[in-house]
């Protein structure tokens, strides 16, 4: 079984995971991806599902139209492990290849049309995530 990351290690890896944040009240990390349309969101989920299945590490996720909300935690370990970090990096890379936009909490809360107002999300700005090979 993979070893849980310490609180210090979680904070350090989150600095390397653009768009990801700890889930309040739970030892897990989360990110909301917003795509151009449903087709792009579904394409992201299909590609991410193949990676997750290959690694035998599956996300908790939800899709509504062009938005995909993801939560990662290693249930067997009772928290966040390197497996979650690796899958988050892979998802960021896949999203980067699709031209993802990311949300910022401040602008989303100010924008009443934002479907995620009040959640820990990141502002809509062009994503500068580098590509991660092998997908």
Residue pair 101/127 in contact by the 8 Å Cβ criterion: yes
Cα–Cα distance measured from residue 72 to residue 55, given in angstroms and rounded to the nearest whole number:
13
What is residue 102's predicted lDDT score, i.e. its pLDDT? 52
What is residue 124's predicted lDDT score, i.e. its pLDDT? 30
Cα–Cα distance measured from residue 109 to residue 123, given in angstroms and rounded to the nearest whole number:
9
What is residue 64's predicted lDDT score, i.e. its pLDDT? 97
Task: Please say whether the structural domain 7-126 has been given the CATH code 3.40.50.1370.
Answer: no
Residue pair 88/33 in contact by the 8 Å Cβ criterion: no
What is residue 2's predicted lDDT score, i.e. its pLDDT? 84
For residue range 54-83, what is the model confidence (pLDDT) as tens digits? 999 999 999 999 999 999 999 989 899 999
Domain ranges across the chain:
7-126
Give start and end residues of each alpha helix (H) in the chain: 7-14, 38-55, 82-97, 105-110
For residue range 86-126, what is the model confidence (pLDDT) as tens digits? 999 999 999 998 876 554 433 333 333 334 333 333 333 23
User: Which pTM does this prediction carry?
Assistant: 0.73
């Amino acid at each position: 079984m993979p070893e849980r990351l310490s609180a210090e290690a979680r904070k350090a890896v989150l600095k390397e995971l653009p768009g990801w944040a700890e889930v309040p009240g739970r030892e897990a990390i989360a990110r909301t991806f917003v795509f151009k349309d449903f087709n792009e969101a579904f394409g992201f989920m299909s590609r991410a599902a193949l990676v997750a299945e290959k690694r035998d590490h599956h996300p908790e996720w939800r899709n509504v139209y062009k938005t995909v909300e993801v939560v990662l935690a290693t249930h067997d370990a009772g928290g966040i492990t390197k497996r979650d970090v690796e899958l988050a990096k892979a998802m960021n890379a896949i999203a980067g290849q699709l031209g993802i936009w990311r949300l910022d909490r401040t602008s989303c809360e100010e924008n009443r049309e934002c479907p995620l107002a009040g959640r820990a999300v990141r502002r809509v700005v062009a994503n500068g995530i580098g590509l991660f090979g092998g997908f």
